[in-house]
Amino acid sequence: MSIKPLIILPDPVLRQVSKPVERVDADLRKLADDMLETMYDAPGIGLAAIQVGEPRRLLVIDLAKEGEPPAPHVFINPEVLESSDQRSVYEEGCLSIPDYYAEVERPASVRVKYLDRDGKLQEIKAEGLMATCLQHEIDHLNGVLFIDHISKLKRDMVVRKFRKLAKDKVPGKMVG
């Protein structure tokens, strides 16, 4: 397993729509394992493949609290089948938008179908933090960031800040 570099805003890769996974094989499982290691190292609770530069419909989540044994979940080609009308608000952050957090309102529960790491079709009814995390990561697979769910004013301020950071990091080159 290896830690992969994270794609950071304003990199346009984050806006790509990821392609469906055609085959669940050893290479895909290795990517999932690398993503888990990258996520744990960051540290985070969810990571989409596009965040490590792989535009494939793959994401990993682990909501285990500190001191609990890891509880990794791998979701291949996840698809929201149903969303509740009831809403919930969580303060979200993102490994691709470091050190920025904002309250985001989303459906309180979702039903998602996906393939597991063995390629078996599964379905999960998720509520609470798992529902929020799944929606956040599935958004990534569709080129959507959590800042797209906040006011335009706040979003523009965040994007401006990260453009400036990227410009300062690479003199003479504007990214995104």
Tell me which residues are annotated as active site. Answer: 137
Distance CA 53, CA 121 (A): 25
Burial of 129 (0-12, 13-18, 19+ CB in 10 A): middle
Q: Is the dihedral of CA 119, 146, 158, 66 positive or negative?
A: negative
Q: Which residues contact 104 (CB under 8 A, 6 or more apart)?
A: 89, 90, 91, 92, 132, 136, 146, 149, 150
Q: Which residues contact 158 (CB under 8 A, 6 or more apart)?
A: 9, 97, 100, 147
In this structure, what is the dihedral angle of CA atoms 174, 14, 51, 46, given to the nearest 10 degrees?
Answer: 130
Collapsing DSSP states into helix, strand and coil, what is residue 138? Answer: helix
